[in-house]
Structure 1
Amino acid sequence: MIVFDGHVHTPFCPHGTKDPLEAYCENAIHHGLTAISFMEHAPLPHNFHDPVPHQDSALSWNDLELYLLEVEKVKRAFQGSLTIYTGLEVDYIEGYEKETTKMLDTYGPSLDDSILSVHFLNFAGQYICLDYSPQSFQKLVERVGSIENVHDLYFQTVEKSILTPLGAYKPKRIGHITLSTKFQKRFPTTYLFDSKLDTIFKQMYEQSLALDINGAGVLKPLCGETYPNPRFITRAHQYQIPLIYGSDAHQVKAMMSGIEQLPTTIDFVTHLDR
């Protein structure tokens, strides 16, 4: 039984909905959850150009302090009914490690939780958002030469996110680790996920990192499964990696997404130690 949703977005997300924080909390209680992590997209480095058309991939720097204050308010409002963690989903962007470390050094003390994710891939000095659209994925395929090369570039970047020092407040959880499968029904592949994920799971175990078991892919029509899928969830469990369910909800009705696909024989993390 899932009692902790460790990946919930908020009205501060510029590509999400305006559903209020309180509505997420009330829905969590309705579904029997005892804890949630609000996990808004951390602001991107000041000198990084967001490559998506509306530059709306992440929280505005101007809204960051307000976001932290508003989560503190709902913590107090729901005290005794729901444990609420203040979090940020932090982008690992190759080439911007110093800027990311500086942000984490500044805001890490205000956080209870965080996730490290890869959305942007760097090829020949140009950044493309992997999961923005099938068209952006197609652009990556054209740039790197094949669908298999896109997956390989993605996992190479995930490995760098795991191994790169980002200071004392580096996130301890890796987000939606198979995000490159978001459009897999349109871009089928022969890529050897087993071999690559075995390498990554070993690295995560050695770094004492947890894994975001992300339900959002179930709602994506060209994906249809969790990130990672149930077979790889079982494999991660065999590596003794802590597994934290996250709906990755950007609207209240998306909470609890993907739970019907989760292996029932595996225990998921129920709360965070603080």
Structure 2
Amino acid sequence: MNKLSTIHLHTNYSDGVNKAYEYIEEAIRLRLKSIGISDHSPVPFNSTWAMKKEDLSKYIAELDYLKRTYKKHISVYAGMELDYIQGYNIKKYIDFDNLNLDYFIGSVHYIYSEITDSYGTADNSQEEVEKLISNGFNNNGVLFYKKYYQTVQEMIKEYDPIMIAHIDVLEKRNRNYELFNPDTEEYKNQIENTLNCINKSCVEVNTGAMAKNIDVMYPSKYILKQCFKKKIPVSVNSDCHFISGLQYGYDKAKDTLLDIGYTHIFEYDGKFIKKEL
């Protein structure tokens, strides 16, 4: 796929390997027209993969510097993957309105369990996700995915982001139906309810797991078919954490979208622009 832009990637400010300028130079080499840096937002508790709050001002300043430095070669946009966490106001925590970001992506990783009064992440290791379901949801995968999609629905309504990241990221550890059965009407109803919350957001087609040798693309083909029926726009992004993954899996994403019936995707260059597949 001849993509002109990518806006979901992570640098060493959060859980990425490379520095922001390295992604930008790789994007120039690949002849991209624009690139957006979108590190994980700080969260109000210990996290191994979120940006540290004390690094936030440095992050913004560095991206502003890189915009100016590379403006003759590529458009650079300052973004953020803004986590939604039940019980916390992340926007207030990071003084979001005064950051002057160009865009942000909405996502859900953390799921709250009333049973344990604690949070777990939906895309953690297989062992940790199974432990979360066992301890936090009475070993019931249905309760787990219902809570996840309830949280995603809240995120969409509260954030109304330009793009919803990896909308079914909980499928990462469910490739062989280890956690729950996504073919049931009960699961499909959760998808229907979630997609019905979308106002103007694009749904991200995310190839990030594939670059880590996990054979899953978000969202599932079933969800993409429902998006197509509802005329929900999509945007393909790699969610990469190292520069070699900047355009990983895009041909597979293109083939999947064409097979479903999509003829266009949306790419970001200051705003989302419709582009033929």
Q: Normalising to structure 2: TM-score of the pair?
A: 0.84
- Identical amino acids, percent of aligned pairs: 23
Secondary structure class of the residue paired with 2:16: coil
Map 1:219-234 onto structure 2 (within 5 A): 219-221=211-213, 223-234=214-225
Q: Does 1:268 align with 2:268?
A: no
**Alignment match, 1:161:** 155
1:118 aligns with 2:108: yes
Alpha-carbon distance, 1:183 to partner: 1.1
Gap runs ≥5 in structure 2: 272-277
- Once residues 220 and 20 of structure 1 are traced to their aligned partners in structure 2, the CA distance between those partners, rounded to angstroms, is 19
What CA distance in whole angstroms lies between the structure 1 residues aligned with 2:51 and 2:27?
A: 23
**Higher RCO (Cα < 8 Å, 6 or more apart):** 1
In structure 1, the partner of 2:38 is 39
Contact 1:215-1:259 within 8 A present in 2 as well: yes
Q: Secondary structure at the match of 1:152?
A: helix
Provide the C-alpha distance between the structure 2 equivalents of 1:267 and 1:246, rounded to a whole number of angstroms.
14
CA contact (8 A) 1:226 1:261 kept: no
2:174 alignment counterpart: 184
Paired with 1:61 and 1:242, the residues of 2 have a C-alpha distance of 33
Aligned-partner Cα distance in 2 for 1:101–1:210: 24
Moved more, 211-220 or 248-257: 211-220
How big is the alpha-carbon RMSD for the aligned residues of Structure 1 and Structure 2?
A: 2.1
Distance 1:235 1:139, change over 3 A: same
Contact 2:111 2:122 in 1 (8 A): yes
Following superposition, the deviation at residue 234 of structure 1 comes to 3.8
Does the 8 A contact of 1:6 with 1:245 survive in 2?
Answer: no
The one-letter amino acid paired with 2:140 is S
Residues 74-223 of structure 1 aligned to structure 2 (within 5 Å): 74-97=66-89, 99-101=90-92, 103-108=94-99, 110-124=100-114, 125-143=117-135, 144=137, 145-164=139-158, 171-185=161-175, 187=178, 189-191=180-182, 192=184, 193-204=187-198, 207-221=199-213, 223=214
CA contact (8 A) 2:208 2:239 kept: yes
The answer on whether the counterparts of 1:87 and 1:112 sit within 8 Å (CA) in structure 2 is yes
- Judge conservation of contact 2:5–2:33 (CA < 8 Å) in 1: yes
Preserved contact between residue 225 and residue 258 of structure 1 (Cα < 8 Å) = no
User: CA separation of 1:107/1:251 partners in 2, compared to 1, >3 Å: closer, same or farther?
Assistant: farther
Question: Deviation digits for residues 144-190 of structure 1, max 9, x if unmatched?
Answer: 122233222211111111123x5xxx633211101001112352531
8 Å CA contact retained: 2:37, 2:80: yes
* 1:73-126, Cα deviation, whole Å (9 max, x unpaired): 2212221321211001111000113x4345354444x10010111111000121
Give the AA of the match of 2:48: D
Deviation for aligned residue 1:259: 0.9
Partners of 2:175 and 2:217 lie apart in 1 by 14
Q: Does 1:259 align with 2:260?
A: no
C-alpha separation between the residues in 2 aligned to 1:11 and 1:102?
A: 21
Q: How many residues align?
A: 256
Gaps of 5+ in 1: none
| Paired residue type of 2:85 | I
CA separation of 1:272 and 1:175: change in aligned 2, threshold 3 A = same
If the length of structure 1 is used for normalisation, what is the TM-score?
Answer: 0.85
Distance in 2 (alpha carbons) for counterparts of 1:234 and 1:218: 20
